[in-house]
Structure formats: structure tokens, C-alpha cells
Structure 1
Amino acid sequence: MSLRNVLVIKLRYLGDVLLATPALRALKAAHPLARLTVIVNRGTEEILIGNPDVDEVVPLEKTSLMAQMRLVSRLRRRQFDAVIDLTDADRSAFLSWASGARVRIGFNDEGRWRGRCYTAVVRGGPDGHRIERDVAALQPLGITTPGAMPRLWLSADDERRADELLDRLGVRMDRKIVILQPGARYWFKAWPAERFAELADRLIAEYGCQILVGGSRGEGDLARQVAGYAKSRLIPMTDASVKQFAAVAKRAILFIGNDSGAMHIAAAVGTPVIGLFGPSNPREWGPRGERVNVLYKGLDCRACFHPTCTRGELNCMRQISVEAVLKVAADMLRQAAPASQLRTQ
């Protein structure tokens, strides 16, 4: 099948959009002349800016019914040959159907009505990674390829703005930078703030690192809380844009954080990553990269995944100790730089 005009829908979060980039690469490689349009949630579009596999990014906002109808009308006028919906949700399924494309591919793991919106329903394996799941959505088009690494493209301007941010924060470029990311979309996916602080103190004392405490613009209080718990000086960094953060992460010797979009961004730019996992399974959501490690206790969290956890102080994230994280971090720091550089002050 020859495609000239293709729509991909991914209405999820930053990390989800980034993990979809191998599927976009495979689609463009199979149909290099096709125009590829991607609809994403507003706030995640920066992930795809500069991506050579994407011709157009359309940010979608949850607006009025009239605005939604205008969007549907625009989609129909575009006359897409095919729609690949990587979201597995009702809203995206409706947009797929309303586009009028003759080929509409999507998931329907819950067996809901949305399966009728597609001409082909793809079933993702229960233990597969999200990258392979998204790539599997291309099989009805005859595209069968293993999932590659997620990619994020940084411009010279992104790099410059990252350097300006580090300079404004007082970060010394002659010292090693470690990023700690204490935030998570849900509280039960987060390692305790006081443990991040203890880890930071140990990394500074034992390896002479500078510690940046990252987070979204809404996580400033959490970053300051971690800095307040620590005995050493930590540097909160919660006002960076997505690409700014990515460029800063590229300059770091190590990233340590919860399962989050920031974790996937750091891995995508080649930063060594330690991912801390609890209720989410790293077999499905783990970071992909050459230098990544995860700490995961493998507890069955299905009984209390949301909205609360019944294990209290024995919950899966609290079972990850500071010593366990420090041990993995020490190994990765030794691999990343000569020992003589780790104590540079």
C-alpha cells in the first residue's frame, strides 16, 4: 500500500510521545514520500519539534464542543489515506473515525465501543514495551520492524538556552552534574523526598558532584523541599522548557529519578539513567538507552494502584533504599568518568 498523507494520534504525556518516535521513524522509512501529521496533547508538542520524520505537529486542547467540531471538519478536508491511533482512548478513536480515512488502525485493549472506529484493531502484548507496542500498530500496513531507540532533536538554540540557564543557576561546567528528579504524575510513583536529599548529600560528599533537582514548573515546592532536607547545597531547576531540560540533561553525568517523562528524555539524549520504579512495570515503561538501570521490587500493585496504596510505609517505592540507589550510581559514575575527575572541586 502506497501512502501519501498519514495522520498519527498520540494524546498522552511527554514520555508517551517520546516513546512513539521509533514508530514514527519506521513509518517514515517505509513511506518516505508520505506527509506525516501528528496530533498530540497541548504541552507535549515540543518533543516532536525538529523531528525529521514529522512534517506537521498539531497540538490539541480540550476546548468547547464547537472547537472540536471545527477540528473534525479540518481533519476530513485533509483527506488522510490512513490514521494510526497510538492512544487507546475514546477521544482519539472518535477522531480517527471522524477523519474519514479509508484505513484506521488503533488499539482496544479494554474491548470497548471504540474498536468499531477502526478498520483494523491491533492487540499489544501484555509484557511488551510501549515502543514495541506502538511499532506493532504499523503491522496492518505491512511494516514489521523492531523498535529503535527514542530520539529527541536539539537545535543550537536549545543548547545555547541550556547554557544560559546553567549559568544563571550558578552551575560550574568544570564540575560533574547529576540530575535528581523527585516528581511523578502520581504520588505513589514517587520515591520519598527525604531519600532524594540523603542521596544527594552522599553523592556530593563521596563524588564531588553538583546536584540539580529537576521538575516541571508546577513542582517547584517539591524541588525546594528536597533541597531543604539536604545538608549540602542543591540547585532546584524547575523553570526549564522541555528542550532546555533535555539539553541540560545531555550535559549531566547521571540522571536519577522516578518513572516520568523526564527520565525518558534524559535517556533519549544519551545521559546515563537510573529509573526508580514501583507500581509501573519497567518491562513496559523502562527507559531505553545504552546506559540505563532500573530499581524495581516487582510487587503486584494491581489491587491498590489508584487512587491510593494500602501498604503504607511498606509500599513499593519505600522498599527502594538509599544504599541500593547509591550502589548503582557509584558503578555508573565510575563507568562515566575517570575517578580523578569525580572529585574535581
Structure 2
Amino acid sequence: MKILVIQLARLGDIYMSWPAMRALRRAHPKAEIHFLTRPRFEGAVEGLTAIDKHLSLPVSAILAPLIQEDADTEAALATLNESVDALRDEHYDWVINLTFSPVSSYLTHAVTGPTTTVTGYTRYSDGTLCLADEVSAYFYAQVGTDKPNRVHVVDVIASMLNLEYIEADFAAPQIENFATPLPETYLVVHVGASEKHKSLSPEEWAQLLKPVAATKIPVVLIGAAGEAALAEEIQAHAIENEFVNLVGLTKISDIFAILQDAELLIGCDSAPIHMASLTDTPTFNVSIGDVNYWETGPKSTLGFIYRVEKGHKVDANRVGECITGLLQGQVAPELITRAAGLVSYEKNEAASERFQWDLVQALYLGASYPLADRMEILQGATQLADINKFAMEQIALIPEKGLQNIGPFLDRSEEVIESISRMVPELSPLISWYQAEKVRVGPGTLEEICTAALDVHERLARHIHVYVPQEALLEQEEKVEEVCDGTL
């Protein structure tokens, strides 16, 4: 068997793919596994012995002709086609897209042969998005910023590939000793972040590190060459701390050696957070703004998150006190802590947040539906049931009146459904589920598409009925039966 794994996201996503690659190798010991990344991030593949071949998609060479003053579309397409042809010529038996982006789905479809098994986002023959498996549909509907998912991406990938992890899947790679001498005991601070708005200013870092100075533990600074000025500013402000400044002086693979013996890694959302999961280094993640820490927080056994919601100011001194407490064996009450099992972190949640996650489990895992504790939930569900019934009635009329006449009514019903998701956030997981299932209706004859669409609406009706008052439910069920029997 020949397997292609596509991972075109950034460094952290590649490192989150490592355990799955090791588990995939263990499940298919004789397979030939190829791993495709962008050249910019190929350093994150060093040490990943579970794969047979690393491939690079020349994204810069493809895009360069398009962003010049006189865009050369033909040159860009020629480079892209050359890369696609080379991949297609490998005749892969299984293509796995771990990128989870609609853009990557085009590449997946392009390199897929007539007998290839596909897992992850791809495209139907008519070019529309295809969610090729149940977990991909789950990812599309429930995973992401401001979504209710509580399962770590590492575990979502395992579920998608039907893999079981063992401890060795999270081991650090074989690494050479780092040449620069390090203190016997030290903390590691990664000064940057995956995005600027998720990082701390030099002044905030200095204020954060001030309580740590009292512990007398040296701080090793790590980061990319472009973050060297930031590191120098941190040192200039935090004069009480002892530093070893390695920012811009290491290869990415050196970070494993630095993390291996560290007492604690402190950082915002970035690749070292996920590298520390492979060295099992205790990790303190300052999670700022648009981040779903349930999905991308540290996977280390001792992983801690200090959450700063979007628009809120970082209390850097308090963060430093929480870090100092951890070094003394005390976990501050505001810290979010790692959990074993399906849910990746433990946190006291608002009732609406808990309702959404419980509803996700009911939709996908067969768990009990959560009890509605707000009248707005019942009202929203009743409105959703009404518009769903209306949509079913319209779909049933398509063969008689034509899609061109019915389409505007269906578009309007979709707008109403989307508005209910915004007005009643507790119901948003159900509406996201419905929208993903609609995407999964593939190309076909008009009759086939209508039948598949009605099936989605019928399943939505079954989920909704839990929250619709009984008198309204009886009326709706009668209408649905008439639609399904073709008498309405």
C-alpha cells in the first residue's frame, strides 16, 4: 500500500500530526508513507522516522507569478500542474488530507486516482466540497474558533484514521546534544507566537517574569531570527532575571534538546507548545484571543493554560504569580488544566457552553440530549422546526415547479436557519451539523439530490423534536408525514 499524507498547515500542525504518523506506521508496517508539506515548514519533519519520504509542494513558486506586477497565470498553473502530475504518477492507494481546509481539498482531488481511498477534505466531480468521512464532517461543523468542540486535534486525527495511540507515539525524536551549554535547572520562554495578536509585548513579558526572578531559576529564551529584537527588549526590561538568549541561534530540531530537560515551557500559541508534547515537558500556555485551546493547547501530561479572552488585557503580573506557584507545586484556581479522556481540558464553564458541548455529544456520540434551561432555546427550536418543515415542503415541490422557482424560497429558509444560530447560540452545534450534512449531499440527478436533501431535513427534524413543545410537535409531525407521503 502507498499512502500520501497531506499536511499543508504550519509548524504546530505538523508536530500535532507526528503521533498519528507513528500510529499509522504501526497500523500499516509494510506501507510506503509519503508526507507532503510546504517547503517553509519542512524543518518540522526532521526526526519523523515513521514516514518513508518527505515531499514539498512549491507554494512560493506557484504563487510568485501571480503576485508580480503583470500576473502570469500560465506560469503559475504550469508549476502547479507539474507538482500535481508528479504526485498523481505515484498512484497512491490512500490519500489522507490532514490540512482541513477547503483550498487543500482541490489538491486532494487532483491527485486522487479512480481506485484511491480518500480521507479528509476533497472535491466531488463537479468541483464542490466533499467531506469524505464522518470525522471530516465533524471537523467542518464543530471544530474551530468559537466552536463547541472539546476534543484535541491530535485525537480528532486519530479518530478520523481509526487509530489508537500508545505512549511511544508521543516520544521525542532521536536528537543530537545541543552544543550550547545550558544551566542545570532552567525555564524556557518562547518569545513569539503563531500570530502577532496572540503574543505578549516586551513589557508584558518582563512583568510576567518579575515574580519568576525570585525563584533564581535562569530563563532560556527561544524563538526565530525575526524575534531577536523582541528578546533583547525583554532582557532590557527584565533586569532581575538571569537569561540565556538563544533566539535566532537554533535550528528548529534543537528545540527538542532544549525542552527535554526544562522545568517548564512558557509560551503563547506556537509550535514549541506542540513540540513539548513530544518531550512531555510541563507547559504553561498563555492563550490569547481567537484560540480554541481545547483543540490546540499543550498535550503534555502537565499542561496548564492561562486564558485571556479576546479584547481583554493580560494581567502579566498575575500570570507570573501563577507560574511561580506552579514551580512551587501550587495550581492557581484560574488555570485550565489537562484532563484524561475525550475532553482535553478541565474548566468551569458557563451553562450555555456546557449545553453546546453536551448537544455535540448527543448529535455525534449518541449521548442524552441536554436539558434546555432557557425559554429562548425552546422558542428557537420551535422556529427552527417551523422553517425546517417549510423547507421540506418546498423541496417536495421542486419536481412540479422547478428548482428555478423554488430555489429563492430555500435560500431564504437557509438565511433564517443561520439567524437562529446567532440568536440562540445553544442551538448552533445542531445548525452546524445540519449545514455540514447539506454539504455532504453530492452531485446527482435532481431527483437524487432532492431525496438526499429531504433525508437531511428529516434527520434535523428528529434532532429538533426534543426541544419543541408537545402541542407544536404533534402539528409538525403531521405535516412532515404528509410531505413524505407526497400528499402535501
Task: Give the TM-score range, shorter chain.
Answer: 0.7 to 0.9
**One of 297, 318, 327 as aligned partner of 1:323:** 318
Letter in 2 for 1:115: L
Matched, 1:154 2:174: yes
Paired residue type of 2:24? L
Deviations 1:111-159 (A, max 9, x none): x95524x754622243121112222331xxxx2536876444133xx32
Whether the 8 Å CA contact 1:48–1:54 is kept in 2: the answer is: no
User: Of the candidates 265, 281, 284, which is equivalent to residue 275 of structure 2?
Assistant: 265
Aligned to 2:394: none
Q: 1:208, 1:31 → 2: CA distance?
A: 49
Report Cα offsets for 1:246-286 as digits up to 9, x if no partner: 21121322111101112221232122110011221211111
Q: Identify the residue that residue 164 of structure 2 maps to in structure 1.
A: 145
Structure 2 contact 210–317 (Cα < 8 Å) conserved: no
Structure 1: 5+ residue runs without aligned partners? 302-310, 336-345
* Aligned amino acid, residue 192 of structure 2: G
2:303 counterpart of 1:289: no
How far is the alpha carbon of 1:333 from its aligned partner?
A: 5.2
Aligned to 2:194: 185
Matched, 1:67 2:79: yes
Matches within 5 A, 1:168-207: 171=182, 173-174=183-184, 176-204=185-213, 206-207=214-215
CA gap 1:45/1:150 in 2 versus in 1, 3 angstroms: farther
Aligned to 2:129: 115
Q: After the TM superposition, which residues 60-139 of structure 1 pair with which residues of structure 2 at under 5 Å, given as runs?
A: 60-62=57-59, 63-64=61-62, 65=76, 66-101=78-113, 102-107=116-121, 115-116=129-130, 119-120=132-133, 122-123=136-137, 124=139, 125-126=142-143, 127=149, 128-138=151-161
Moved more, 119-128 or 240-249: 119-128
- Give the Cα–Cα distance (whole angstroms) in 2 for the partners of residues 281 and 89 of structure 1: 17
Describe the SS at the equivalent of 2:231: helix
Distance between the aligned counterparts of 1:113 and 1:198, measured in 2?
Answer: 52
Contact 2:119–2:133 (CA under 8 A) maintained in structure 1: yes
**Paired residue type of 1:86:** L
Distance 2:39 2:56 in 1: 5
CA distance in 1, matches of 2:129, 2:315: 40
Tell me: higher relative CO, structure 1 or 2? Use CA pairs within 8 A at least 6 residues apart. Answer: 1
CA deviation vs aligned residue, 1:151-180 (integer Å, no higher than 9, x gap): 44133xx32xx1x2x23xxx4x34x21111
Indicate the RMSD between aligned Cα atoms, in angstroms.
2.5
Uncovered stretches (5+) of structure 2, i.e. residues with no partner: 63-75, 144-148, 331-488
Question: Separation in 2 of the partners of 1:88 and 1:113?
Answer: 17
1:52 to 31, 34, 49: 49
Q: TM-score, length-normalised on structure 2?
A: 0.56
Aligned to 1:78, the other structure's residue is in SS state: coil
Whichever structure has more strand as a proportion of its residues is 1
CA gap 1:134/1:237 in 2 versus in 1, 3 angstroms: same
Q: Check 1:265–1:114 CA distance in 2 against 1; reply closer, same or farther (3 A cut).
A: farther
Equivalent residue, structure 2, for 1:340 = none
- The separation in 2 between residues aligned to 1:246 and 1:322, in whole angstroms, is 29
Look up the equivalent residue of 1:199 and give its one-letter code. Answer: L
C-alpha separation between the residues in 1 aligned to 2:222 and 2:246? 5
Q: What is the DSSP-based 3-state SS (H/G/I as helix, E as strand, rest coil) of the residue aligned with 1:20? A: helix
Higher helix share: 2
For residue 218 of structure 2, the aligned residue among 194, 210, 216 is: 210
The one-letter code matched in structure 1 to 2:173 is W
Which of these residues, 229, 236, 243, is aligned with residue 228 of structure 1? Answer: 236
CA 267–100 in structure 1, closer or farther in 2 if over 3 Å, else same: closer
Q: Normalising by structure 1, what TM-score? A: 0.78
Percent identity, aligned pairs only?
21
Q: Would you say the 8 A contact 2:209–2:320 is kept in 1?
A: no
1:55-92 residue CA offsets vs partner (Å, 9 max, x unmatched): 11112231132332221111111110010001122442
More displaced stretch, 13-22 vs 84-93 = 84-93
Within 5 Å, give how 1:14-53 maps onto structure 2. Answer: 14-53=11-50
| Matched letter for residue 218 of structure 2 | Q
Q: 1:320 to 1:186 in 2, by over 3 A?
A: same
Residues 129, 284 of structure 1: 8 Å contact kept: yes
Deviation by residue 1:198-254 (Cα, 9 ceiling, x = unmatched): 3333323x2111112211121111111111111234332222111112211213221
Moved runs in structure 1, 4+ residues, more than 6 A? none
